[in-house]
Amino acid sequence: MANRRIRMGKLKEIIRLHEAGLSIRKIAAALAVSRPVVTQYIIDLKSSGLKYKNITNISDTELLELLGKKKTESQKYRELADGFGYFTKELKKKGVTLHTLWEEYIAKYPDGYKYTQFCYHFQIWRQAESVTMHIEHKAGDKCFVDFTGEHMTVVDRQTGEITNVEIFVAILGASQLTYAQAVSSQTKENLIIATENAFIYFGGVAAAIVPDALKSAVTNANKWEPDINPQYFNFAEHYNTVVLPARAGHAKDKAMVENAVKIIYQRIFAPLRNRVFHSLTELNEAIFDLLEKHNNTKFTRLKTTRRALFEEIEKDKLRPLATSRYEFKNVCFATVAFNYHVHLKEDNNYYSVPYRLSGKKVKLTYNVTTVEIFYDNIRVAYHKRCTKPGAYTTNKDHMPASHRYYAEWSPDRISRWANKVGPDVKLLVAKVLEACKHPEQGYRSCIGIINLAKKYGSPRVNNACIMADKYRLYSYKAVKNILDNRLEAEEETLEASLPLHGNIRGAAYYK
């Protein structure tokens, strides 16, 4: 009834503003009422001779009668009014317009109202009565979602601790079939799970999800280009739908779900207010029972239920459910390093992408078992997830041709190559690899030591490796220093002869 008083209150405002000298256009804009309706009311006002001071203390119903809008005694009006509920339902179907319905009406009643009067009376009926169904929502078009402002509670059976829980609400725009569920919090995980459960309850997916700028759904509620939470975006993609956040400052965008929340307060919160629940499962069982009762309760004016209207006009318009439930994935962004790997901070490890993407920003989506990497909305890499800190996971196909040669290296192969130069080279190479956290980090050093034989010869390199091993100098630079200074044959003066170098500390260091 509050809704009726507000709408009918606009009639008195039209009269007041008209007497104040405002134009029809300005009155329509100020009260969010169509200009034809304002015009007709003013015509009726003039013909009645009423003034604003005469109507301030009379009821809205009496005012309508005085203005001649009480049409129940008119046969023509009764014929038209009998179709209002039908018109409301038909307008939810794709392609159906008021003009289409007027053509059908006039074909049935040739002496009926002309199109302008037809539209006028229908608009008056919508505004003057408590018609909660908004006919602008087409069947299967939108699913509005939100959390209620008020909480319900769960009481721990052992400790008696009281925990507030959130109530999620989803409503289909055309039929107003409603879903509600209690969740522990408003996290993105709970929002996704609850939205998915709503789809399953409906038996299909709306063309768009309309959240009321929930932080778990919208990271930046910009008026023109809101940023959708990546996880919620992926969820929408999985179900072949889109996320269209309600615009800030546009009450109509979220009126549907706000009205649903008010009804949920009356039909679920109120009946359960004195009951105690010890788990979310218990609470949700009670919610679902009342939810079914709500969806099977008749509308005040349309003489049908949300469930019946859903079955009639909306069920077949929903998109099919996905073949599998959505698997929640974490999302992060990273810049590809010069070595064509991206860093997954959560595990502190690295995954390869095609080398051409070095320096580019990419999106990583990952779950317990896999890591997927996307560039420009195209998946460019897929890896099994590795949680070993510092690990590199590399796909050979991502390497440039010059790097693929190194990908064929292995400790055994390097050891065989080193042994061809000398047994002490093989021994030193093994210790170089052993000193590295990951063998791959020592591959280049080992190959460098082996290749020194090309310049200095195998015997000298083998002797240099003996000296390096003796003083625990496990690096390419140390071996090359020994060779450059011809120190491999001067063991007795090695400490005095070696140049100062960060990697060459001398024998005394180890005593």
Mean pLDDT over 168-189 rounds to: 90
My answer on whether 298 and 354 are in the same domain is no
Mean pLDDT over 241-264 rounds to: 71
Mean pLDDT over 326-330 rounds to: 82
My answer on whether 394 and 498 are in the same domain is no
My answer on whether 413 and 394 are in the same domain is no
Q: How far apart are CA 465 and CA 428, in angstroms?
A: 6
Query: Taking 90 as the threshold, does the pLDDT of residue 427 lie above it?
Result: yes
Mean pLDDT over 366-378 rounds to: 87
Q: Does residue 45 lie in a domain region? A: yes
Strand 392-393 with 361-366, pairing: unpaired
More confident residue, 444 or 450: 450
My answer on whether 313 and 189 are in the same domain is yes
Q: Does residue 178 lie in a domain region? A: yes
State residue 468's pLDDT score.
Answer: 92
State residue 491's pLDDT score.
Answer: 58
pLDDT band with cut points at 50, 70 and 90 for residue 465: very high
Query: Taking 90 as the threshold, does the pLDDT of residue 462 lie above it?
Result: yes
Tens of pLDDT, residue by residue over 81-113, are 878 877 877 776 666 788 888 888 888 888 888
Query: Taking 80 as the threshold, does the pLDDT of residue 498 lie above it?
Result: no
My answer on whether 261 and 370 are in the same domain is no
What is the 3-class SS of 279-299, one letter each residue? CHHHHHHHHHHHHHHHHCCEC
Q: Give me the DSSP letters along 391-443.
A: -EE--GGGS-HHHHHHHT--HHHHHHHHHHH-HHHHHHHHHHHHHSSSHHHHH
Residues in the chain: 511
My answer on whether 238 and 117 are in the same domain is no
43-57, 355-369, 406-420: range with lowest mean pLDDT: 43-57
Q: How far apart are CA 274 and CA 269, in angstroms?
A: 9
Q: What is the DSSP letter of 137?
A: S
My answer on whether 385 and 468 are in the same domain is no
pLDDT band with cut points at 50, 70 and 90 for residue 292: very high
Q: What share of the chain is helix, strand, coil (3-state, %, to 5)?
A: 50, 15, 35
Structural domain containing residue 384: 330-401
State residue 222's pLDDT score.
Answer: 42
The structural domain count of the chain equals 4
My answer on whether 119 and 206 are in the same domain is no
My answer on whether 82 and 219 are in the same domain is no
My answer on whether 109 and 163 are in the same domain is no
State residue 2's pLDDT score.
Answer: 36
Tens of pLDDT, residue by residue over 119-154, are 877 776 665 444 434 445 778 888 999 898 889 999
